[in-house]
Amino acid sequence: MHVHRHWDRSKGGEKMVAKSGSRCCCCCWFLGIIVVIAVVLAVVFTIRHRANHSDDIAPGSTDKKYADALKIAMQFFNIQKSGKLENNKIPWRGDSGLKDGSEASLDLSKGLYDAGDHMKFGFPMAFTATLLSWSILEYGDHMDSLDQLDPAKDSLKWTTDFLINAHPSPNVLYIQVGDPETDHKCWDRPETMSRKRTLTKIDADTPGTEVAAETAAAMAAASLVFKESDTKYSGTLLKHAKQLFDFADNNRASYSVNIPEVQSYYNSTGYGDELLWAASWLYHATEDKTYLDFVSKNGEEFGNFGSPTWFSWDNKLPGTHVLLSRLTFFKKGLSGSKGLQGYKETAEAVMCGLIPDSPTATSSRTDGGLIWVAEWNALQHPVSSAFLATLYSDYMLTSGVDKLSCGDTSFKPSDLRKFARSQADYMLGKNPETMSYLVGYGDKYPEFVHHRGASIPGDANTGCKDGFKWLNSDEPNPNVAYGALVGGPFLNETFIDARNNSMQNEPSTYNSALVVGLLSSLVTRSSSVESFK
């Protein structure tokens, strides 16, 4: 807003000033110069200060943009819940999957539907639980300030209840409910689906190390979340975590190899990262040196030291590097541990690859600065990278480490946070499409999300096949899938809001866990807790 000042240039006015005395006028002129210089210096200082701290907010204050987005993002977990819903806040959702697990005499009715379909895939669901736990452990206070901590813990427990029931004995884990081939031939609401819900399991005869280990990580991390509020439940989770880790480690084999049908959906590229990830969480949960020894001894084989990679439902290494760096930052007795050094150095390499001005910055970005690695679910990598960057930034702040060396260049914790904010802001609408990819946030977001429940009116009673008319409808979804993070833009930063465009327009539950973690970390300026205990 420009303010125009009008000066009175009438002869009378000018004469009045002249008659007031020349000495006084000189004083005014001298004082005026001093004031101008002071104002200029203040402006320069303010500009420099803002340049250095443009990504900071006052300590203790809340960034409304991220707070509003977090409240929306949390809602998607409720949209994805299976089972007999309690205190249901989603008017177009109801009970579903009530008989899941019955053919094995198990109650697998709870848990979360994976994406826009009605499948429960144990591998990404466990990753969702691990990431939601990590977010709560690091940023639970931020969530609590916005009344989101209890909802987060409720969604976590809904998921871990399922995982507990899916592990009926030490060496048996049910990893999938539903047949994807059959499920994807239908377009219906979860409340009305009537097809057979087949079960898939791993056991000693058909092991699957990565799924067992990821589930162990989820149980161990969640046991820390509930350690104070529900000691018994926490103990149950930890018991399952230990059993599952032993099962995974003692029966090493890839579930993608033993159960080739999963390759079209959640194909694993290896299990070493999940073993390290699970052992890392078990050490945090127990402080049992056995698990620390495991990551120390197996780092050279599985840690991919010196070669930063992308954090995802399939690759847990960057998360493991950052999580174990936590120990070197906060556990003085472990700061010089040779066994942890490779993890810390690789975590630093990951961070250096993310900061745009770093000499080792990755070129895997759009012109608008978004980390971009894959066409399918493109937003997973920038959101997961930004979450890790904020964590590492907070670890540095808390431990008093003021710089990160990337080659011959040094960066501050605020540089990592600035990167994280850039990815979050892009996701929320600061992009060439001016599109918020978080459904329900902002003025413009996807209206044709690839999601069965959202696309069909709540009072429709469609069967398997006749529901496809809703998939092919030209009308926007009748139900808004609040909090859904869709796949995201192509490398050229274009996005097609079409229901058939599952590559770009399908949300996933594990994306929601990542975005909740990122937004929780950015809600207010903070450092990190030194211990989860």
Work out the angle between the directed axes of helices 209-225 and 231-250 (0-180°, nearest 10): 160
CB atoms within 10 A of CB 246: 14
Band of residue 54 on the pLDDT scale cut at 50, 70, 90: very low
Cα 73 to Cα 254, 477, 518, distances in angstroms: 33, 18, 11
Dmax over CA atoms of the chain, in Å, equals 105
Identify the pLDDT of residue 529: 86
How many separate helices (H) and strands (E) can be counted in the chain? Answer: 21, 5
Give me the sheet containing 120-121, strands edge to edge: 120-121, 173-177, 199-202
What is the DSSP secondary structure assignment for residue 202, as one 8-state letter?
A: E
Q: Which residue matches tokens 């975005």?
A: 515
Element (H, E) at 193: none
Q: Label residue 368 exposed, middle or buried (CB < 10 Å: 0-12, 13-18, 19+).
A: middle
Secondary structure (DSSP) of 442-505: SS---SS-S-HHHHS-TT----TTTTHHHHS-SSPPSS--TT-B-----TTS-----TT-HHHH
Q: At 258, list the tokens.
A: 């033993």
In contact, 241 and 273? CB cutoff 8 Å: no
**Percent of the chain at pLDDT above 90?**
84
In contact, 516 and 424? CB cutoff 8 Å: no
pTM for the full model? 0.89
Q: pLDDT at residue 350 above 80?
A: yes
Identify the pLDDT of residue 508: 97
Taking alpha carbons only, the member of 436, 444, 455 closest to residue 501 is 455
Tens digits of residue pLDDT in 280-309 = 999 999 999 999 999 999 999 999 999 999
Taking alpha carbons only, the member of 243, 263, 344 closest to residue 296 is 344
Band of residue 461 on the pLDDT scale cut at 50, 70, 90: confident
Determine if residue 84 is left, alpha or beta; phi over 0 gives left, psi from -120 to 50 gives alpha, anything else beta: beta
Cα 482 to Cα 7, 233, 451, distances in angstroms: 54, 30, 12
Secondary structure (DSSP) of 378-421: TTHHHHHHHHHHHHHHHHHHHHT---EEETTEEE-HHHHHHHHH
Beta bridge partners of 405: 410
Q: What are phi and psi of 35, to 5 degrees?
A: -60, -45
Helix (H, G, I), strand (E, B) or coil at 214: helix
Cα 193 to Cα 190, 335, 470, 475, distances in angstroms: 5, 54, 15, 23
Which domains does the chain possess? Answer: 64-522 (1.50.10.10)
E strand map for 82-182: 120-121, 173-177
Beta strands at 120-121 and 173-177: parallel, antiparallel or unpaired: antiparallel
Total count of residues recorded for the chain:
533
Tens digits of residue pLDDT in 178-219 = 999 999 999 999 999 989 999 999 999 999 999 999 999 999
Q: Label residue 413 exposed, middle or buried (CB < 10 Å: 0-12, 13-18, 19+).
A: buried
Identify the pLDDT of residue 48: 34
Tens digits of residue pLDDT in 353-403 = 999 999 999 999 999 999 999 999 999 999 999 999 999 999 999 999 999
- Averaged pLDDT, 162-172: 98
Taking alpha carbons only, the member of 393, 310, 408, 403 closest to residue 359 is 408
Catalogue the active-site residues: 450
Triad 158, 164, 167: Cα angle to 5°: 145
List b or e across 251-272, with b for residues whose CB sees 16 or more CB atoms inside 10 angstroms.
beebbbeebeebeebbebebbb
- Please state, rounded to an integer, the average pLDDT across all residues of the chain: 90
More confident residue, 276 or 527: 276
Cα 147 to Cα 39, 400, 424, 438, distances in angstroms: 43, 30, 21, 20
Sign of the alpha-carbon dihedral angle for 364, 366, 368, 370: negative
Q: Which residue matches tokens 């894959």?
A: 374
Q: Which residue matches tokens 């089972």?
A: 83
